[in-house]
């Protein structure tokens, strides 16, 4: 069989939204006094941008095959990621058959082990991996979900993450996840405000709508336990990423401590099958939330998901737009998906990676049909109006 080979890989950066969805303008709900591990410093409490949540920016990876087909993907890694792609990873990609993704992943991962394993290096490898899947699927003229075994249901259903679950309910989502605003350093007063927000939102959405809380690594086990216990009366469905990602022991304890019926979720800042193995074997959570652009890409997510399935744990990926959708639609243990509300006031549905991608499908009435994903590759194009910069040509 005549399989095209990879001619060139190119890495670009772009600012303003895109895969670095925290890179938004002022007045956005996503940067409004959200509790973080940096909230212990008053100076960094009001804005996550103040401590640099958006320093990385978006990395765009483009891979061109010998038959002229171009695959691409985006992730959060910016200029550092572009350096790693051009100066290090390119050697494992160029000249390879477009089909040999497993081998390329293995070489990228093992060659970067001495400075990688997690964080920006794995984000970068994920970006290359997603671009490889996009390329292979385009060469074959198929959507990525078809390469992954095909849809197991005819639509995706979504919960929405944002400041306004009440509006998300009106828009047809199955649930709403709010950010926590006050961390332990804001004391009992902060705890009361956190609980008041949950109570207020429960009153607005009524009894049957899923309500969840995203704590973005900001708490300790004691505070998280108290918060979960007191929030139980408001029917909180899950408490998410309550603790720093390395505190596997704390997660296991929290899971034992939360009221019966409340779920503990985490994993958006975890990476690779080895990181998720710890979460799963230590009984840290009920749902894992890998971000396919940060956990090692689709190649790794397949392994993480199989491991989770064997532990009876659901996989509900973090954000990631089409890169998640093509996976979630193919897996029984991913029964629903996340949609991040990127409108500044969380009052309308806009594409998650706005403005970087064209043809990015968005939920209508909280749903996207499988047929909306029936385009070659991940089915999206780069918006030519977004200015790409290629800082390190190899
Ligand atoms: C809202 C959260 O703080 C964060 O920005 C997004 C996130 O953790 C999630 O979507 O989950
Ligand atoms: Mg989260």
Span 349-393, pLDDT tens digits: 999 999 999 999 999 999 999 999 999 999 999 999 999 999 999
pLDDT at 120: 98
- What is the predicted pLDDT for the residue at 23? 94
Strand partners, 377: 143
- The continuous run of DSSP H or E covering 158 comes out as strand 155-161
Structural element, H or E, at residue 324: helix 321-328
ipTM above 0.95, yes or no: yes
CB distance 352 to ligand 1 below 6 Å: no
Q: Name the DSSP letter for residue 342.
A: -
Q: Is 338 annotated as a binding residue?
A: yes
Atom 4 of ligand 1: nearest residue by CA position: 216
Torsion sign, CA atoms 216, 76, 363, 286: negative
214 is in an annotated binding site: yes
The catalytically annotated residue of 145, 181, 318, 326 is: 318
Q: Is 356 in the pocket of ligand 1 (CB under 6 A)?
A: no
List, for residues 264-302, the tens digit of each pLDDT value: 999 999 999 999 999 999 999 999 999 999 999 999 999
Distance from chain centroid for Cα 393? 28
**2 C-alpha to ligand 2 centroid (Å):** 43
- Tell which one of 182, 212, 214 to mutate to probe ligand 1, the residue whose CB is within 8 A of the most ligand atoms: 214
Q: Are 37 and 44 in contact (CB under 8 A)?
A: no
CA of 36 to the centre of ligand 1 (A): 11
Average pLDDT over residues 66-70: 98
268 is in an annotated binding site: yes
pLDDT-based confidence at 1, cuts 50/70/90? confident
CA separation, residue 141 to residues 9, 61, 246 (Å): 20, 20, 41
Q: Is 179 near ligand 1, meaning CB less than 6 Å away?
A: yes
Tell me, using a 6 A CB cutoff, whether residue 216 lines ligand 1: yes
Which atom of ligand 1 is the closest one to the Cα of 340? 10
Question: 298 alpha carbon to ligand 1 midpoint, in Å?
Answer: 21
- 164 annotated ligand-binding residue: no
Contacts of 163 (CB under 8 A, 6+ apart): 29, 32, 178, 179, 341, 345, 346
How far away, in angstroms, is 241 Cα from ligand 2 center? 6
Mean pLDDT (the chain, rounded): 98
Strands 337-340 and 367-369, sheet pairing: unpaired
Rounded distance from Cα 349 to ligand 2 centre (Å)? 18
Does the CB atom of residue 291 touch ligand 1 within 6 A? no
State yes or no: is 145 an active-site residue.
Answer: no
pLDDT digits 0-9 by tens, 6-59:
999 999 999 998 999 999 999 999 999 999 999 999 999 999 999 999 999 999
Average pLDDT of the residues in 113-140? 98
Buried b (16+ CB within 10 A) or exposed e, 362-381: bbeebebebebbebbbbbbe
Give the whole-angstrom CA distance, residue 334 versus residue 273.
17
- CB distance 309 to 276 below 8 Å: no
**Nearest ligand 1 atom, CA 161:** 10
86 labeled binding residue: no
């Amino acid at each position: 069989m005549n399989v095209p080979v990879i001619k060139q890989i190119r890495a670009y950066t772009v600012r303003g939204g895109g895969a670095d969805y925290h890179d938004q303008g002022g007045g956005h709900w996503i940067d409004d006094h959200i509790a973080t591990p940096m909230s212990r410093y008053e100076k960094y409490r009001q804005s996550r941008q103040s401590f640099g949540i958006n320093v990385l920016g978006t990395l765009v990876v483009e891979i061109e095959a010998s038959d002229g087909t171009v695959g691409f993907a985006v992730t959060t890694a910016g200029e550092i990621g572009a350096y790693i792609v051009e100066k290090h990873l390119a050697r494992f990609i160029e000249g390879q058959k477009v089909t040999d993704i497993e081998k390329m992943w293995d070489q990228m991962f093992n060659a970067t082990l001495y400075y990688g394993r997690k964080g920006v290096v794995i984000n970068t490898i994920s970006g290359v991996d997603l671009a490889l899947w996009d390329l292979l699927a385009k060469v074959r003229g198929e959507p990525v979900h078809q390469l992954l075994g095909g849809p197991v249901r005819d639509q995706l259903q979504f919960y929405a993450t944002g400041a306004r679950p009440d509006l998300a309910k009106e828009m047809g989502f199955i649930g709403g996840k709010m950010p926590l605003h006050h961390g332990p350093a804001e004391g009992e007063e902060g705890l009361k405000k956190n609980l008041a927000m949950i109570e207020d939102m429960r009153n607005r959405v009524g009894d049957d709508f899923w309500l969840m809380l995203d704590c973005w690594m900001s708490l300790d086990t004691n505070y998280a336990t108290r918060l979960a216990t007191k929030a139980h009366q408001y029917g909180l469905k899950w408490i998410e990423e309550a603790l720093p990602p390395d505190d596997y022991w704390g997660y296991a304890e929290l899971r034992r401590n939360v009221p019966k019926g409340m779920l503990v979720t985490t994993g958006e800042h975890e990476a690779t099958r080895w990181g998720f193995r710890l979460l799963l074997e230590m009984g840290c959570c009920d749902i894992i939330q890998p971000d396919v652009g940060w956990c090692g890409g689709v190649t790794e997510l397949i392994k993480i998901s199989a491991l989770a399935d064997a532990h009876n744990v659901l996989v509900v990926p973090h954000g990631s737009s089409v890169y998640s959708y093509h996976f979630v639609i193919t897996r029984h243990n991913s029964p629903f998906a996340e949609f991040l509300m990127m409108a500044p006031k969380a009052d309308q549905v806009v594409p998650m990676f706005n403005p970087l991608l064209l043809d990015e499908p968005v939920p209508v009435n909280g749903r996207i049909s499988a047929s909306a994903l029936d385009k070659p590759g991940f089915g999206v194009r780069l918006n030519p109006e977004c200015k790409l910069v290629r800082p390190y040509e190899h």
